[in-house]
Amino acid sequence: MSVRVRFAPSPTGPLHIGNARVALLNFLFARRHQGTFLLRFDDTDRDRSRPEHVAGILKDLAWLGLAWEGPEYQSRRLAQYQAAAAELRERGRLYACYETEEELAGKREALRRRGRPPIYDRAGFHLTARDRARLEASGRTPHWRFLLSEQSVGWHDLVLGERRIPLPSLSDPVLVRADGTPLYTFSSIVDDREFAITHVIRGEDHVTNTAVQIDLWEALGENAALPAFAHLPLLTDEEGGKLSKRLGSLGIRTLRDDGVTHEALACYLARLGTTGNAGISSLESLAEGFDLAGFSRSPARFDMHQLLILNRHVLQHLPFATVSAHLPAGATEEFWNAVRENIDLLSEARQWWEVVAGEIVPVAQEGEEAFLRAAAALLPPEPWGAGTWKDYAAALTAATGRQGRALYHPLRLALTGEEDGPSLASLLALIGRARAAARIEEAARSTA
């Protein structure tokens, strides 16, 4: 059987780190088995789905390096869902309900007060034709619920192991809204059947949905093979708390704009929750060794520090031609070679361009006035090059007796305004004599 997986985001917002991980792992699984990675937009929520979110998700997935079949759009497949709903009605598995949201909330609250689980009472299922006619004559439009079977549904999960959920412990799910549009639980199963999906790889928060969807799959007939399921434990933040998809700092677009590279992010997400090597690999190499059995059953912590370590490693090896379009206007290859080993994010290059070509505020340093004035006086004439710092430092040592940190630290604060960063040997020639002299003299004045 040819492997077919799908990634099915709802275009109701930007792509966040958890969904990007699911997309990447589906892609790697398909590549590992020479299969197909289908992209499908679950966009039947008319109020929240937006074309700009579709465009943003497509851009983010392409930036990650993923290639897909499709995309498919559920909003263009309403006829297929209506046909499937008609089949379920004929088989007595889809029934009309007329309660408002307020009435349903009242029922749930009443059950809680009695210490009972808030499971729907199937009042709609027991309505007569006369009851339904009366309700519709009063202006009510039905939504439609799926009649769950009285069984426990079990499956072997490719990540979590054996799972079993008793369906009587769940409410019959709404499959079709009052406006006729399908909900995710329903449309996903219709699509997975039609597109011959062989494996469903998604987050652990869908485990209960899976039990319902297996029952629904069986209710639609045995003309399609049930896929295998793999549920990935959810990501947490560095403190172990829930990772919110609304946390803007963890949106793929924001990470990209801040200068996280797609190589670092893909490698980090592919191995997050495994014991795999944390080094940099191509997508093809990641796919070759991809194995769902290697994922832990415990939540995985998203650690920004670890991602930045990988990102720094990638940046250190990126040539100027690759990054030039993302650097500040005027930045040269010499500048990039000077700073690339000292930044975690590509966006940090802007700060160092300001240091070498813009304006900074030198740091006042108590007790350093005499040294700084000597340093200003000993600045060599231009032209400056790669060896200027070495000759300059030697002259300062001879004149002041200083060396090591006592020599370079006051100059670093005066020339860059920073405690650490790229070597002064690399920066000095980029800063230039006029700018360096002005900064050292200003630092000496502010220290006096």
Share of the chain above pLDDT 90, in %: 89
Together in a domain, 127 and 208 = no
| Cβ atoms of 400 and 374 closer than 8 Å | yes
Does 254 map to a domain?
A: no
The string of pLDDT tens digits covering residues 66-105 is 999 999 999 999 999 999 999 999 999 999 999 999 999 9
C-alpha torsion angle, residues 319, 324, 330, 336 (rounded to 10): -30
Predicted local confidence at residue 245, as pLDDT: 47
| Residue 91 structure tokens | 């088989």
The string of pLDDT tens digits covering residues 270-314 is 999 998 777 889 999 999 989 999 999 999 999 999 999 999 999
Predicted local confidence at residue 170, as pLDDT: 96
Does 319 map to a domain?
A: no
Q: How confident is the model at residue 47 (pLDDT cuts 50, 70, 90)?
A: confident
**CA dist 266 → 3, 70, 243, 310 (Å):** 22, 22, 18, 10
Q: Domain ends where: 202, 220, 235?
A: 235
Predicted local confidence at residue 174, as pLDDT: 97
CATH number at residue 17: 3.40.50.620
Together in a domain, 355 and 443 = yes
Does 285 map to a domain?
A: no
Burial of residue 368 (CB within 10 Å: 0-12, 13-18, 19+) is buried
Predicted local confidence at residue 247, as pLDDT: 46
| Cβ atoms of 292 and 229 closer than 8 Å | no
Rounded to whole angstroms, how far apart are CA atoms 63 and 262?
A: 7
Together in a domain, 106 and 60 = no
Residue 201 Ramachandran class (φ > 0 left, ψ -120 to 50 alpha, else beta): beta
**CA dist 197 → 191, 229, 269, 407 (Å):** 8, 11, 23, 66
383: preceding bond cis by omega (within 30 degrees): yes
| DSSP helix/strand/coil, 274 | coil
Tell me which residue range forms the domain holding 228.
4-74+182-235
Beta pairing, strands 300-301 & 235-236: parallel
Predicted local confidence at residue 244, as pLDDT: 57
CATH number at residue 377: 1.10.10.350
- For residue 270, count other CB atoms closer than 10 A to its CB: 22
Q: Which of 179-188, 359-368, 371-380, 425-434 has the lowest mean pLDDT?
A: 359-368
Predicted local confidence at residue 246, as pLDDT: 44
Together in a domain, 64 and 84 = no
Average of per-residue pLDDT across 388-417:
95
Together in a domain, 186 and 170 = no
Average pLDDT value over all residues in the chain: 93
Q: Domain ends where: 127, 144, 176?
A: 176
Predicted local confidence at residue 274, as pLDDT: 93
Q: Angle at CA 49, nearest 5°, toward 22 and 29? A: 15
Average of per-residue pLDDT across 417-422:
93
Q: How confident is the model at residue 46 (pLDDT cuts 50, 70, 90)?
A: confident
The string of pLDDT tens digits covering residues 135-151 is 999 999 999 999 999 99
Does 153 map to a domain?
A: yes
Q: How confident is the model at residue 448 (pLDDT cuts 50, 70, 90)?
A: low
Together in a domain, 68 and 89 = no
Rounded to whole angstroms, how far apart are CA atoms 333 and 319?
A: 9
Beta bridge partners of 232: 203
- Residue partners of 358: CB distance under 8 A and separation at least 6: none
Q: Domain ends where: 159, 176, 193?
A: 176
Together in a domain, 170 and 207 = no
Together in a domain, 369 and 441 = yes
The string of pLDDT tens digits covering residues 213-263 is 999 999 999 888 999 999 999 898 777 777 654 444 588 999 999 899 999
Together in a domain, 424 and 374 = yes
Together in a domain, 57 and 104 = no
Does 341 map to a domain?
A: no
Beta bridge partners of 300: 235
CATH number at residue 151: 3.90.800.10
Does 315 map to a domain?
A: no
Q: How many domains does the chain have?
A: 3
Rounded to whole angstroms, how far apart are CA atoms 300 and 266?
A: 15
The string of pLDDT tens digits covering residues 302-346 is 999 999 999 999 999 999 999 999 999 999 999 999 999 999 999
Rg (CA), the chain: 31
Q: HSE, CB side, 13 Å, CA atoms: give it for residue 205.
A: 8
